């Protein structure tokens, strides 16, 4: 799940979930924010009927004229006849497969029609509810950016429009052809795949090439990752981080060797690109084979993702002198000073964090044996035209329900001791909510100035052990239940089991989040009254809570992407993100009257939060 939409993003600033190994540090944050979308949907009355008639479906499918549609209600509850309610019912009917028993497979019930009828565009590898929302947002932005400049536009907006226009100047791009790319390759020292025997290795330095890439705005995170991030022991300080690189394919693919099917596809893709750029095919195949062998060696030297889940395993602080002793492949102090801005300098005593000590320890030998062969301005524009302040206020109000009910749930945990509860509540109250957009995004002067693993962290974001021993033991026992449950789920498409260890953080968050959201919704109903029905439909608001919560995960992927997600993503596939948490929650089976030991109402349930 991508909750990053709730984080204020700055240039290359990471959202709280960008590192898989830190997922557990976000347990409490996820519980509050992960299902925010669900509550929004519910507040608009997203309701549906399992026994709808064909006549109702036909009415809803027609173009809505704005006039009320009068359908005979199947209960005495009030019926919502607004345009929004009618449209909501129609869109839900588009996604759901109501021929499926909700007590056997709720994901198929809520999303079956979407999954079976959605065509994936040639330009994409999958379609989700989130990607559809993003496509709509991009279309709105395109309309705004393509508008002619006006005297009301800020300087940042004007520059954004001019930059966009230059990027869309197809005639100019075609006129230049590949020459800009060739110029960049020449600046970086040439590419032996293109130049063959004419390439001169004497003038090549891999670190020199990385620094040149940095100079012209490219990432340097190829041999290793260089980043500046929070000191996990002191969240008020920043620290330089070095870590193993993120390769083009998941680690598990490369360590299987050159003959692994996806590695072979990647090899052929790289060769084809090189040939399109003018390389000799035989030379390209030889060079790309060496590249893949190098990447395989890098993968074998790297740390498995399951091991990286524990932040303690990737928290290894040392000064630059010690880093040189570990990996004497370059002068680290000198290199860092060339990477950082001119006004920032470090010396040999500078403390850095090395995420994978073994990788850096082996990196020198690996390299020695290898031959040398504008976002804020756009957000400002969007918020001013499309985002209503009232919507933000409503969502902030809903977040208050979530936070209050999370507090109540935390206080009621029998397995957590009082002292740990006290610390957990302090941590929750220290969390800041970022809803929709930061207020400063509405101020042009601020935009102009700009362009000039959860339980392991305390309330200040510092790494530390604040759990009592008995509580931690009971928590681990409960997480083992989640690990076993999800580890027994198997993808029907690929016959691959889910990695219960690697996905446990997000699975626990999904399970806890839906409980918080349900309790928050019940509290809202208690204070505001039961929601109205949709026209012609007869589900209870409680049942429709579950439909809404499931339908945000309606997704369809190409088989290759799905396999990649199962192997490398720290989230479970979408169908398990629905069926897993709901089958663990007795409120779901009560609302749907699921029989004992039905698939969505098993006798044994895993409950953490």
Mean pLDDT of 338-349: 90
What is the pLDDT confidence band of residue 59, given thresholds at 50, 70 and 90?
Answer: very low
Residue 35 in contact with residue 513, Cβ under 8 Å? yes
Max mean pLDDT among 84-88, 539-543, 581-585 falls in 581-585
Cα–Cα distance between 58 and 349 in angstroms, integer?
73
Residue 146, pLDDT > 50, answer yes
Strand, helix or coil at 559?
helix
Distances in whole angstroms, Cα of residue 356 to Cα of each of 235, 245, 247, 361, 370: 21, 10, 15, 9, 21
Residue 349 in contact with residue 423, Cβ under 8 Å? no
> Rounded to the nearest 10 degrees, how much is the dihedral formed by the CA atoms of 93, 96, 97, 103?
-130
* C-alpha of 533 from chain center: 34
What is the pLDDT confidence band of residue 460, given thresholds at 50, 70 and 90?
Answer: very low
Q: What is the DSSP string of 192-208?
A: HHHHGGG--GGG--HHH
Cα–Cα distance between 516 and 2 in angstroms, integer?
18
Joined together, the tokens standing for residue 483 give: 């690990």
DSSP state of 497: B
State the sign of the Cα–Cα–Cα–Cα dihedral 84, 85, 91, 94.
negative
Residue 71, pLDDT > 80, answer no
pLDDT value, residue 500: 92
pLDDT in tens, 165-193: 888 888 888 898 889 899 998 898 888 88
pLDDT value, residue 118: 96
> Rounded to the nearest 10 degrees, how much is the dihedral formed by the CA atoms of 337, 339, 340, 344?
20
On average, the pLDDT of the chain sits at: 78
pLDDT in tens, 471-481: 777 788 888 99
Single out the residue of 110, 23, 56 nearest to residue 578, CA to CA.
110
Cα–Cα distance between 148 and 135 in angstroms, integer?
22
Strand, helix or coil at 328?
coil
Give the range among 291-300, 395-404, 574-583 with minimum mean pLDDT.
395-404
Share of the chain above pLDDT 70, in %: 75
CB under 8 Å to 204, separation ≥6 — which residues?
A: 189, 190, 372
Cα–Cα distance between 525 and 533 in angstroms, integer?
14
Cα–Cα distance between 540 and 530 in angstroms, integer?
9
H or E segment and range at residue 10: none
Q: What are phi and psi of 471, to 5 degrees?
A: -65, -45
pLDDT in tens, 257-311: 899 989 999 999 999 999 999 999 998 998 899 999 989 998 988 888 888 877 7
pLDDT in tens, 428-441: 666 665 555 455 44
Share of the chain above pLDDT 90, in %: 30
Joined together, the tokens standing for residue 125 give: 């590898």
Cα–Cα distance between 480 and 473 in angstroms, integer?
11
- Domains annotated for the chain, with CATH where assigned, are 4-131+466-592 (3.40.390.10), 224-368 (1.10.1380.10)
Distances in whole angstroms, Cα of residue 465 to Cα of each of 390, 490, 512: 41, 35, 22
401 Ramachandran zone, left/alpha/beta (phi>0; psi -120 to 50) = alpha
What is the pLDDT confidence band of residue 163, given thresholds at 50, 70 and 90?
Answer: confident
Mean pLDDT of 87-99: 90
pLDDT value, residue 265: 93
Give the start-end residues of each E strand in 84-224: 126-128
Cα–Cα distance between 237 and 228 in angstroms, integer?
10
In 4-105, alpha helices (H)? 27-33, 36-43, 54-61, 83-95
Cα–Cα distance between 202 and 89 in angstroms, integer?
68
pLDDT value, residue 16: 35
Residue 125, pLDDT > 70, answer yes
What is the pLDDT confidence band of residue 77, given thresholds at 50, 70 and 90?
Answer: low
pLDDT value, residue 389: 61
Residue 221, pLDDT > 90, answer no
């Amino acid at each position: 799940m991508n909750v990053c939409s709730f984080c204020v993003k700055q240039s290359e600033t990471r959202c709280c979930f960008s590192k898989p190994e830190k997922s557990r540090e976000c347990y409490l944050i996820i519980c509050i924010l992960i299902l925010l979308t669900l509550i929004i949907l519910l507040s608009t009355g997203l309701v549906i009927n399992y026994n709808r008639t064909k006549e109702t479906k036909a009415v809803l499918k027609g173009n809505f004229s704005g006039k009320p549609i009068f359908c005979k209600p199947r209960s005495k509850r009030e019926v919502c006849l607004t345009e929004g309610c009618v449209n909501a019912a129609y869109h839900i009917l588009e996604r759901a497969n109501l021929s499926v028993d909700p007590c056997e497979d709720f994901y198929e019930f809520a999303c079956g029609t979407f999954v079976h009828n959605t065509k994936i565009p040639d330009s994409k590898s999958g379609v989700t509810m989130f990607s559809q929302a993003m496509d709509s947002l991009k279309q709105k932005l395109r309309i705004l950016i393509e508008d002619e400049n006006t005297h009301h536009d800020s300087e940042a907006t004007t520059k954004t429009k001019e930059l966009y226009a230059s990027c869309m100047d197809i005639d100019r791009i075609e006129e230049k052809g590949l020459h800009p790319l060739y110029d960049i390759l020449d600046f970086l020292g040439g590419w032996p795949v293109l130049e063959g025997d004419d390439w001169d290795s004497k003038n090549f330095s891999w670190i020199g090439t990385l620094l040149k890439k940095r100079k012209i705005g490219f990432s340097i995170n190829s041999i290793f990752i260089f980043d500046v991030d929070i000191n996990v022991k002191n969240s008020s300080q920043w620290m330089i981080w070095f870590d193993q690189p993120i390769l083009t394919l998941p680690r598990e693919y490369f360590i299987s060797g050159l003959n692994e099917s996806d590695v072979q596809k990647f090899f052929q893709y790289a060769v084809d690109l090189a040939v399109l750029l003018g390389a000799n095919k035989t030379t390209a195949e030889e060079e790309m084979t060496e590249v893949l062998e190098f990447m395989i060696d890098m993968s074998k030297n790297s740390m498995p993702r399951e091991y990286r889940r524990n932040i303690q395993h990737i928290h290894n602080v040392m000064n630059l002198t010690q880093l040189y002793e570990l990996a004497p492949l370059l002068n680290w102090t000198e290199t860092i000073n060339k990477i950082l801005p001119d006004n920032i300098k470090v010396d040999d005593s500078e403390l850095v964090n090395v995420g994978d000590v073994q990788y850096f320890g082996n990196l020198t030998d690996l390299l020695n044996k290898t031959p040398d062969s504008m976002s804020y301005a756009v957000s400002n524009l969007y918020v001013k035209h499309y985002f209503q302040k009232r919507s933000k206020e409503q969502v902030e109000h809903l977040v208050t329900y979530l936070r209050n009910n999370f507090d109540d749930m935390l206080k009621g945990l029998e397995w957590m001791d009082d002292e740990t509860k006290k610390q957990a509540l302090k941590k929750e109250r220290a969390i800041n909510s970022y809803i929709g957009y930061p207020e400063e995004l509405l101020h042009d002067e601020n935009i102009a100035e700009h362009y000039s693993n959860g339980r392991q962290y305390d309330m200040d974001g510092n790494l530390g052990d604040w759990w009592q021993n008995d509580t931690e033991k009971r928590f681990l026992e409960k997480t083992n239940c989640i690990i076993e449950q999800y580890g027994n789920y198997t993808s029907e498409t690929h016959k691959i089991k889910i990695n219960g260890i690697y996905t446990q953080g997000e699975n626990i968050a999904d399970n806890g989040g839906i409980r918080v959201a349900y309790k928050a919704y019940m509290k809202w109903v208690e204070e505001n009254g039961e929601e109205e029905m949709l026209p012609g439909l007869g589900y209870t608001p409680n049942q429709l809570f579950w439909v809404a919560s499931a339908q945000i995960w309606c997704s369809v992927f190409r088989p290759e992407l799905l396999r990649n997600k199962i192997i490398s993503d720290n989230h479970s596939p979408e169908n398990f993100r629905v069926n897993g948490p709901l089958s663990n929650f007795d409120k779901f089976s009560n609302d749907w009257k699921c029989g004992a030991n039905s698939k969505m109402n098993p006798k044994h349930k895993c409950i953490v939060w």
